[in-house]
Amino acid sequence: QVTLKESGPALVKPTQTLTLTCTFSGLSLSTSEMRANWIRQPPGKALEWLARIDWDDEKFYRTSLKTRLTISKDTSKNQVVLTMTNMDPVDTATYYCARMGPKWELDYWGQGTLVTVSS
Amino acid sequence: QSALIQPPSASGSPGQSVTISCTGTNSDIGGYNFVSWYQQHPGKAPKLMIYEVTKRPSGVPDRFSGSKSGNTASLTVSGLQAEDEADYYCSSYLYYKNLVFGGGTKLTVL
């Protein structure tokens, strides 16, 4: 059974750095063709792709947020970590991690974690 | 990475069919057959319904079908049921090795 679970703070202050962790179970991050993604969804708004890290450690970022995002993985813990610097209230959203299959489909999703940015 | 264009809303009565469109460019939908569709119920994570334009993952009813013409992809839900009421999002591969989502469509079953 494949499960993904996001963890991190529910509340961060403006200008702080957010660190989120996604723990994979039933899938190995070191498997060839493994692609792990972060997606967010502000309340009442659309999904927004943020970043991806591939099995070969190649990394991709949303152009508009590239300077604020860092994605990394720890294959020994089967975890993917996303950091976002200089948080702002507009970054308030549910943050999801998801596995991307070979046809660029997001076939496994975590339950999401709501992050609120407020002083 | 401009969002793919979806109508904000769609509706149909039980048993009817409804089609949701998703319009992109030659750099995404028009250039590749890597279009996916997701269903999202309130408070839940998205669920993959269609991938590679027309394919259904195991467990997805065959009432859901996908197609593509030029820069526009479509999701058709036939034989509408109450549980189909949800938000639907399209996504596409975007040159170079990126992903782009649509703005989402709220499907109402009347």
Average pLDDT on B54-81 reads 98
| B93–chain A nearest CA distance, Å | 6
> Helix, strand, coil proportions of chain B in percent (round to 5)?
5, 50, 45
pLDDT tens digit string along A99-118?
999 999 999 999 999 999 99
Please enumerate in sequence order all residues whose Cβ is within 8 A of that of A13, keeping only pairs 6 or more positions apart, or say none. A87, A117, A118, A119
Inter-chain touch B104–A110, beta carbons under 8 Å: no
pLDDT-derived band at B1, boundaries 50, 70, 90? low
- Please list every residue in chain A whose beta carbon sits closer than 8 Å to the beta carbon of residue B92: 104
**A10 CB burial (10 A radius; 0-12, 13-18, 19+):** exposed
The pLDDT of residue A104 is 95
Percent of chain B with pLDDT over 70: 99
**B25 CB burial (10 A radius; 0-12, 13-18, 19+):** middle
Mutation to test the A interface, candidates B93, B99, B105, most A Cβ within 10 Å: B99
Average pLDDT on A2-20 reads 97
- Please list every residue in chain B whose beta carbon sits closer than 8 Å to the beta carbon of residue A105: 34, 36, 48, 51-52, 91
Is there a cis peptide before residue B96, judged by omega within 30 degrees of 0?
Answer: yes
Closest residue by Cα to residue B92 from A20, A104, A110: A104
Single-letter amino acid code for the residue at A90? V
Q: What is the number of residues in chain B? A: 110
The pLDDT of residue A93 is 98
